[in-house]
Structure 1
Amino acid sequence: MNTKFDKSDYIILAVFYLISATINIFDYLDQDATLLEYLIDIPMYVITSFTGVLIFMYFIIPKFLIQKKNYILFAIFGLLVVTFIGVIERVVGFSTGNNDWSKFPGLGNLILYGIFNGSDSIGLALGVLITKKFYESQTQIATIQKQKKENELKLLRSQLDPHFLFNNLNTLDSLIDSNPTKAKEYINKLSLIYRYLIKTKDLEVMELSNEIEFAKNYIFLIKTRFGYDYEFTIEQNISLVDKFVPTGAIQTLLENVVKHNKYDGKTPIKTTITINDGWLIIANSKSEIKSNQESFGTGLENLKARYKLLSDKNIQINNFDKKFEIFIPVIGLSA
């Protein structure tokens, strides 16, 4: 669940506090409250309640529930914030009502008042906001899962596309006569690719080491088919143990390189796959020859959508005049 506020959250809270303030005004009318109570107590309620909601949404819930899943610390810090807010409201309300300070509650009663007042002040606003956030997150998950299923079908169709098979079989046919040894290697790599695609088609993430091995086989097909038109380099700067990426992510990005960059007859398209701490970077030189293949950006959009569920980091894209690079987060699933 995303705990950060958006525009609609502020609108909902504004409406909530407007209604609450109106109810408090009518309540104060019944109590014959002083003008000072109207001017200080009601704005103070809005300020302290909103502050408490912010603390829960930006600190307590993300830190102790989402990141650490430490329910004890969540309860302790939550109770402290609620009590602190409630005590502030109690002290301010007592002072604006011209009450006798000798009758101010002792420490024990003050803490109890603080818990009750703070829970009343923060609880309902926080509950409304969390309910909204939960509904939005469930809707987003359902949408992304639907997109995932649709893209899985598209991916499978593209992988089994007759055009894809025709290109590989055509390359294989030319190798059988000219280079039988390489033809056997080509068949082996092609079978490994299809075996991997079938094996991983239902998996959301895959070990980065396996994806890199798949990428090497896929690069072999590209280089065999296009010769020296494309150059690939893999730079591994970290251990790949307990590192994951979305299944098929590297294939999608390599396909984009070949699809959008055509060899100009002079300089090969150079692509570097770099694995750093937290990021996998694919950078390629750009061809001056415009591709005549229509692009809808579905591969990258699919990858972005999947990362919304898998990581708190987003894909980063840099499109320069002579270079294109994309950063995808490496997902660590170790305990």
Structure 2
Amino acid sequence: MRFQRPSKSDFAAIVVYWLFAIPVVMSAYVYESGWARAWVGMGYTLVLDTAAVLCLVFLILPNALSGKHWRGAVVALLVFLLASSVLYREGYGVIFGKPTTWTLIGLVAGILRHAVSYGLLGIFLTVKRYFEMQKRLVLIQKAQAESELRNLRAQLDPHFLFNNLNVLRGLIQQDPAAANEYLDRFASLYRFLIRHKDEDFVSLAEELQLVDEYLYLLRHRFGCAYEFRRELPVNIDMSRLLVVPGTLQLLLENAIKHNAGNEENPLIVLINISETVLTVWHARRPKLTAVESLGTGLANLRERYRLLFSRDIEVVDTAESFSVSVPLLRQAQRWSAA
């Protein structure tokens, strides 16, 4: 069973709840037992109710709804209800000087009575998280729609097609065998883009296969003007690491679009992969003629990682170099990220 970490807004909601609840609860405690015991009882209630709600909302409920751990969640719920009843009855008995007697009916009544105590806070947090999830779902759907449009435009980008068809035409005249290989790689790249255009994630292994096809096209177009190097981790299953589709293609495309390279002094583009981060780095070598760019590709990539991974990409832009680092997500973490 997994515990979903509460966000800062969840803790803020808890604080707001208690700002309104404490005066109401305190007034009842003061009326029954006086100020001294009321303060102790209030502190005990605050700690116990908050802990109970955190356990219910962020551990038991998510695992019960996931379907994978529902049996464990049911057992945890029963143990939780029993334990909370004992803690409430014994704790209040000591604090307010009221000895407790244990019967089956009394135990059930205690479970129901104390469930009301933390029920309001639990409902408040659950409703809050529901509306947050709905808002995030709308934002993800919007980002996906915008991303799909951009991907479709990229697939039909006339400049991209024109440049590669020019290379293909030259190869057909000079080397038909190489032209056939070039056409196969070109088709493979487009098949990948079409196959994954509706997906949020692809494995890093698939993404690297796409890059192999893309780099093959770039080498035929630019020769040795750009040198692509990889630093890959040892003994890591790339098929278990996830990225947003087309991440590497976009980052490499940006590097070539904005930076000049030549065969005497090629621009080195480094692809570095660790267990948690994928980084594309290159020296800054601006082209003599500035390339007009609105930065929509990188901005879209940043937004998709923020929504899908709940993490930000890191851009380091200096006078000497430029790098973009994106988080890698393990498949086991995929559902918990949402």
Aligned twin of 2:286: 289
Deviations 1:16-72 (A, max 9, x none): 22333333345457x65423343222332222212323344555556x458893123
Match of 1:106 among 85, 93, 102: 102
Give the Cα–Cα distance (whole angstroms) in 2 for the partners of residues 97 and 249 of structure 1. 62
Report the CA distance between 1:234 and its aligned residue: 4.3
**1:112–1:296 Cα change, 3 Å:** farther
Deviations 1:201-220 (A, max 9, x none): 23333344443222111111
Aligned twin of 1:4: 6
Give the Cα–Cα distance (whole angstroms) in 2 for the partners of residues 13 and 243 of structure 1. 35
Match of 1:203 among 199, 206, 212: 199
Report the CA distance between 1:334 and its aligned residue: 11
Aligned twin of 1:54: 54
Report the CA distance between 1:176 and its aligned residue: 4.5
SS of the aligned residue for 1:271 comes to strand
Give the Cα–Cα distance (whole angstroms) in 2 for the partners of residues 47 and 330 of structure 1. 34
* 1:226 has 2:228 as partner: no
Gaps (5+ residues) in structure 1?
Answer: none
Q: What residue identity is the alignment partner of 1:186?
A: Y
Matches for 1:1-335 after TM superposition, within 5 Å = 3-7=5-9, 9-28=10-29, 32-57=32-57, 59-60=59-60, 64-65=63-64, 69-99=68-98, 101=99, 104-106=100-102, 108=104, 111-112=107-108, 114-234=110-230, 237=234, 238-241=236-239, 244-263=242-261, 266-277=264-275, 279=277, 281-289=278-286, 292-307=290-305, 310-311=308-309, 315-317=313-315, 321-322=320-321, 324-332=323-331
**1:95–1:239 Cα change, 3 Å:** closer
SS of the aligned residue for 1:233 comes to strand
Give the Cα–Cα distance (whole angstroms) in 1 for the partners of residues 159 and 60 of structure 2. 54
Count residues with an aligned counterpart: 328
Report the CA distance between 1:188 and its aligned residue: 3.1
Report the CA distance between 1:262 and its aligned residue: 1.9
Gaps (5+ residues) in structure 2?
Answer: none
Give the Cα–Cα distance (whole angstroms) in 1 for the partners of residues 314 and 53 of structure 2. 31
Task: Give TM-score, length-normalised by structure 2.
Answer: 0.79
Q: What residue identity is the alignment partner of 2:297?
A: G
Give the Cα–Cα distance (whole angstroms) in 2 for the partners of residues 210 and 93 of structure 1. 59
Deviations 1:216-236 (A, max 9, x none): 111111111111111123455
**1:230–1:45 Cα change, 3 Å:** same
Residue 228 of structure 2 contacts residue 268 of structure 2 at CA under 8 Å; is this kept in 1?
yes
